[in-house]
Copies of this chain bind each other. A is one copy, B any other.
């Protein structure tokens, strides 16, 4: 079965987020005054061939631990759903 995987990687609480801070400072200068707590992360999307939903989730989680995220400073959310059938 084919699954669509979305991995969102973001810095752990307390880890500096200079890109988020820069955006937060820049928005008021552009006239946007209501934004706060800006955080920037990374998102990795891919298709995954696996035997089932739980196998796909486990494999994606292992990919995070070994390649996609640095667990010392980052945390990752993994979302797996069955791929829509192609045309």
Chain A positions near chain B (C-beta within 8 angstroms): 5, 8, 10, 20, 23-24, 26-27, 30, 32, 34-50, 59, 62-63, 66-68
Contacts and interface: CB of A to CB of B under 8 A. Distances in A.
Given A27-B63, A39-B44, 4 more contacts: A20-B46, A30-B67, A35-B46, A43-B43
* Identical copies of this chain, number: 2
- Main secondary structure on A side of the interface with B: strand
20 contacts: A5-B35, A10-B43, A23-B46, A24-B46, A27-B63, A30-B66, A32-B62, A34-B49, A34-B59, A35-B46, A35-B48, A35-B49, A35-B63, A36-B46, A38-B46, A40-B44, A41-B43, A41-B44, A41-B45, A42-B42
